[in-house]
Every structure is written in C-alpha cells, then in structure tokens.
Copies of this chain bind each other. A is one copy, B any other.
Amino acid sequence: MKFGGTSVADLDRIRNVANRVRREVEAGNEVAVVVSAMAGVTNQLVAWCQGLSPLHDAREYDTVVATGEQVTIGLLAIALQTIGVDARSWSGWQIPMRTDGAHGRARIVAVEGEALVARMQAGQVPVVAGFQGIGPDQRVTTLGRGGSDTSAVALAAALRADRCDIYTDVDGVYTTDPRITSRARKLDKIAYEEMLELASVGAKVLQTRSVELAMKERVRVQVLSSFEDRPGTLVVDEDEIVEQAIVSGIAYSRDEAKITVRHVPDRPGVAAAIFGPLSQASINVDMIVQNVSAEGSTDLTFTVGRTDLARTQAVLAEHAQSIGSSTVLADPDVAKISVVGVGMRSHAGVANTMFSTLAAKGINIAVISTSEIKVSVLIAAEYTELAVRALHTAYGLDA
C-alpha cells in the first residue's frame, strides 16, 4: 500500500491511512506500506536548498529532502500502533534500499529486505520511506520527484507481493481526463504499455519509471483513491485483460512547444546539424516532421518541452551558420493529443479514424508521430478539449 503526499497531509489523514492499513491486516493480508512526505513539506525543503544556492550539492540536497518521508514513516507507525497494529518505520538506509550514486535522481539497484521480511513474517507492518535509498557512498539518496511510486513497486517486487496498491487523489485511470468530458470512464484494467504511453503523454496518475519497473518485474499495480472505498484501476500484463479494447484512452499534453526551422538546405547531414547541438545541450526533442522539399530547401518542424523553448532558440541561433538557416519560428500554443491502445497492433485504421475525426471538426494537424500502440498529433492548443471529446466519442469510449 503506497500513500502519496495528499493522503498523509495532516494528522487526521495519517489516522485515516492507518485505519485503511488496519482493514487490510484484519482481512488477513500481509501488508507493507510506503509513504511520501506530507504534502507541501518537500517543496519547503527544496526551497530552502534553492534559497542557499541554486547550484547546491546534490548529496546535501538529498540529506535535507529525505527528511520529509522520515517524518511520515514515524508518524504513521505511531498512528498504527495507537490502533493496535504492530508496526515500525524503515528509512531507506535501514532496509537498505540500495541505489546508484546519482544523487537527486538515483535509481534503485537492489532492495535488501531480509530484516524487513523477517519482521513481516512475525506479523509486523513495515512503514517504508518512499523516494529514498542509500548510495554506494553510504549516503542518503533520493529518486527524484514522484519516486515514491517507484519505491513502492520495487518493494512489491522484492517482497513478491500479489499486488502494489497506489493510493492517490484520483480513484483510477480514466479513458481521458474527466475534467474535459463527463463521458470519461474509469478503466477496470489497463496494460503496462498503455499506462506507459498515457503517463508519458500527460496523464499524471503514475510516474513513468514506476510503470516501467512494474512491467519489467511483472508487479500488478492498482491505482485507487485514498479517500473513497472502492476498487481502482489495475495495471497489468495485457494477457490479463480479456476483453481488450482497440483504444483504451485519449491523452493530451500542453507541455510542449513547436519549433520550425525554415528554408533549410535539402542535403544530407542537415538534421544532424540541428539535433546534434540540441542533444549536447540536453534538450529532448519529441515529434519531428520534415516537409516536402521545394526548390532545394525544406522546412523542419519538431517539438521540445515548453520550459526548454528559450534555450532551444538560443542553441539554434548559435548554430545558424552550420544549419544553413536562421529563420526559426516558435509556437508554444500547441497541444499533443494521443490515442493509446494495445489493440492497435492487430487493428488497422486506428490512425485514419483519428485524422478523419479531427478533419471533420476543422482541426489542422501540424505534426504526426506514431508508435506500435499510440498515435499522437500536434494541434493548436485552443482545440484541445474539442479534439479530446470528438476522439473519445469516435473510438467508442463514451460512458
């Protein structure tokens, strides 16, 4: 059972979490709990580090920020003991949860949970600090924002748990954002691959890394509400999903910006001249399209994270000569709309339905990219809701 920051935001909510855990214990389940820092605490700790130095030592940052979860594990252990559940707290170094040495964005390499397992077998509920571990330098590491989901999945894998329940402030994974259409439906099950595509295109339910790990370790994950008492959405192997829909969900993201480099000479090596310098500047490029050549020159359009837009323009200006063009158009007012479903593998015409649906609504497509189980298009941001609703209906997802 993993509880995020809003689920443990104050003492009342911590008591609520304790009661949930007790119910599982009383139902005869062996339970391990993973918790995040109380909502707002991590932000305060990060702000203190930033306030002293924007370029702070990541090892010291980890020392400071990991205290957030250490507070929650102690408090939840007390709350559990108070209602008669044998419990104890475990920080990352106590388990130990071994990570690599990349402070601030560490990756879990091993969960050495022997002592913890022995206590569980004796009937004790371990309350584990998410988001943290111990590095090869024997110092505290953190996994980066949202890392608590990954901690929970890694622990579930180490314990060979039947299930990893991730309690959040939403009650499951929906066919699309319920704030955009009331016809959005909660999914009972979704495949890992689909969840990965949804997570990476903007459905912020689970952290991408935690889904990757769950898929690799075959951990069955349930996303459910910590405030309501009903089943959520199971994230499982696609073989477990009997009635597989062709399309499972429609996602959208407004976190990208569109860049067009005009009148690029149409010759080999020009893409490298553009994307090489961007890669060196650690700028991730997502969708790319090259227009048909006309009169020996071509237009090259691609997307970057919106927060990288200014840096991207600077890099392109700097390399204008080697690129052969200094005409760069930037448009931050774009949205990426994605249709996701493992059923696409065996069904043709999914992309075409998307294009014709958008055309019927008069929505222009700027860029297209596809993967085995996803079709994404870039459109003007103002059409986001219209596009999502139309596609939700077109793929038969409406409730």
Contacts A93-B93, A139-B94; A60 near B48 (Cβ below 8 A): no
Instruction: Return the chain B residue nearest A66 by Cβ.
Output: B70
B93 contacts A81, CB within 8 Å?
Answer: no
Chain B residues with CB below 8 A from A93, complex form? 93
Instruction: Return the chain B residue nearest A115 by Cβ.
Output: B138
Q: Could you tell me which residues of chain A, from 320 to 375, have a CB within 8 Å of some CB in chain B?
A: none
| A51-59, A143-151, A268-276, A297-305: which lies at the interface | A51-59
Q: Could you tell me which residues of chain A, from 48 to 106, have a CB within 8 Å of some CB in chain B?
A: 48-49, 51-53, 56-57, 59-64, 66-67, 70-71, 73-75, 77-79, 81-82, 88-89, 91, 93-94
Could you tell me the distance between the alpha carbons of A73 and B88 in the complex, rounded to whole angstroms? 26
B64 contacts A49, CB within 8 Å?
Answer: no
**In this assembly, does A251 line the interface, its C-beta being within 8 Å of a C-beta of chain B?**
no
Chain B residues with CB below 8 A from A88, complex form? 59-60
**In this assembly, does A14 line the interface, its C-beta being within 8 Å of a C-beta of chain B?**
yes
Could you tell me the distance between the alpha carbons of A81 and B52 in the complex, rounded to whole angstroms? 10
Minimum distance in angstroms from A12 CB to a CB of chain B:
10
**In this assembly, does A15 line the interface, its C-beta being within 8 Å of a C-beta of chain B?**
yes
Contacts A64-B71, A67-B71, A70-B64; A78 near B49 (Cβ below 8 A): yes
Chain B residues with CB below 8 A from A109, complex form? none
**In this assembly, does A110 line the interface, its C-beta being within 8 Å of a C-beta of chain B?**
no
A71 contacts B94, CB within 8 Å?
Answer: no
Among B52, B75, B81, the residue within 8 A (CB) of A75 is B52
Could you tell me the distance between the alpha carbons of A252 and B52 in the complex, rounded to whole angstroms? 42
**In this assembly, does A11 line the interface, its C-beta being within 8 Å of a C-beta of chain B?**
yes
Minimum distance in angstroms from A130 CB to a CB of chain B:
15
Minimum distance in angstroms from A205 CB to a CB of chain B:
29
Chain B residues with CB below 8 A from A71, complex form? 45, 48, 64, 67
Q: Could you tell me which residues of chain A, from 5 to 60, have a CB within 8 Å of some CB in chain B?
A: 11, 14-15, 45, 48-49, 51-53, 56-57, 59-60
Minimum distance in angstroms from A94 CB to a CB of chain B:
7
Instruction: Return the chain B residue nearest A63 by Cβ.
Output: B74
A74 contacts B53, CB within 8 Å?
Answer: no
Instruction: Return the chain B residue nearest A14 by Cβ.
Output: B52
- Pick the most buried of A11, A15, A45, A71: most chain B CB atoms within 10 A of its CB: A71
Instruction: Return the chain B residue nearest A138 by Cβ.
Output: B94
Contacts A82-B53, A138-B94, A139-B94; A77 near B48 (Cβ below 8 A): no
Contacts A53-B81, A93-B93; A64 near B60 (Cβ below 8 A): no
Instruction: Return the chain B residue nearest A64 by Cβ.
Output: B74
Could you tell me the distance between the alpha carbons of A60 and B81 in the complex, rounded to whole angstroms? 10
Minimum distance in angstroms from A112 CB to a CB of chain B:
14
A91 contacts B79, CB within 8 Å?
Answer: no
Could you tell me the distance between the alpha carbons of A63 and B139 in the complex, rounded to whole angstroms? 17
Could you tell me the distance between the alpha carbons of A49 and B89 in the complex, rounded to whole angstroms? 14
- Pick the most buried of A64, A70, A79: most chain B CB atoms within 10 A of its CB: A64
B52 contacts A79, CB within 8 Å?
Answer: yes
Minimum distance in angstroms from A45 CB to a CB of chain B:
7
Interface pairs (9), CB distance under 8 Å:
A11-B51, A15-B52, A45-B71, A48-B71, A48-B75, A49-B78, A52-B78, A59-B88, A60-B77
